[in-house]
Structure 1
Amino acid sequence: MKEYAYRLDMKVRDYECDLQGIVNNAVYQNYLEHTRHEFLLARGVDFAQLSRAGIDLVVTRAELDYKASLTSGDQFWVGLNLVPNGRLRFNFEQDVYRTADQTLCLKAVIIGAAINDRGRPFMPEQVAQLLLPGSVKA
């Protein structure tokens, strides 16, 4: 199994499931976003505070590969690694695993960027520090 710089444990709630009894595909985006926000917060980067300062972290692309389904009550965890993607972008590589059997349920690459208060892309120091080699540890 891959090593991750960050891991967040969660549980599927009933209302997140569709008529088939499995987690709706769009709900995985919420799991991934929550994990990204918690990762940043754990590293001293407050997403809401950045926004108030005129720095918006935005998703520019989301690649999701669904591998297996989660159902109501399943315990699961999301693993995350942050890697640079050029000069102004960064990738959140995220995987979702069902805890009971460690089955990979979802592989995702979320490509992000930062936008300043003038609407221009830039790399804020808070994020740049996280992208330095060896700066993001488990």
Structure 2
Amino acid sequence: MTADAPINWDLADPFTMDITVTDQDTDRLGHANNVVYVRWLEEISWAHIESLGMTWEVHESTGRAMAITRTEIDYLASANAGDHLILGTWITGFDGRFRSERRFQLVRPADGKTLVRATSTHACVNLKTQRPARAPDAFRDILASAVVAGGQGLRVD
């Protein structure tokens, strides 16, 4: 058995999630389906913010949530059933009011290859009305402190 290749993360200290691609994750072409990549992005996003203290209970108590407004995905190479992958994510921007930005990098450790890079943007919304709303203090404190250096995302005011 060979050792995994070193991972060259785009930014320092990602929050990571291990993934093993299953047969159910693949499409007719035999590689992970694009819908599955989006699911993985959502799963790691929730796990990351919850690890920072932005739990669903905080969302419910404030009546606010960060809703995805845009996701851009660059598929660089395919993942196949049985592949072990590591998905990394960072909060790369927060404007201090409404919008945040997150970046992702999906790597196959066996060869160190980056398979996907993605960026998503989010807007704070009122849970009842689904309309834009100013981020509550709890969100502002967590998001502002989590923005990574070098992310070149939204500016913190």
TM-score range, shorter chain: 0.7 to 0.9
For 1:36 and 1:58, how far apart are their aligned partners in 2? 11
Structure 2 residue runs of 5 or longer lacking an equivalent are: 1-7, 149-157
Q: d(CA) in 1 for partners of 2:59 and 2:98?
A: 18
Helix, strand or coil: the match of 2:34?
Answer: coil
User: RMSD in angstroms over aligned alpha carbons?
Assistant: 1.9
Taking the aligned partners of 1:20 and 1:110, their CA distance within structure 2 comes to: 26
Q: Normalized per residue, which structure has more strand?
A: 1
2:60 to 52, 59, 80: 52
CA distance in 2, matches of 1:65, 1:104: 10
Is 1:77 the counterpart of 2:86? The answer is yes
Amino acid at match of 2:105: D
* TM-score, scaled to structure 2: 0.77
Aligned residues: 135
Identity of aligned residues (%): 25
Measured at CA, do residues 126 and 75 of structure 1 come closer, stay the same or move farther in structure 2, by a change above 3 Å? farther
CA distance in 2, matches of 1:57, 1:71: 32
TM superposition score normalised by structure 1? 0.86
Q: Does the 8 Å contact 1:83/1:131 carry over to 2?
A: no
Larger radius of gyration: 2
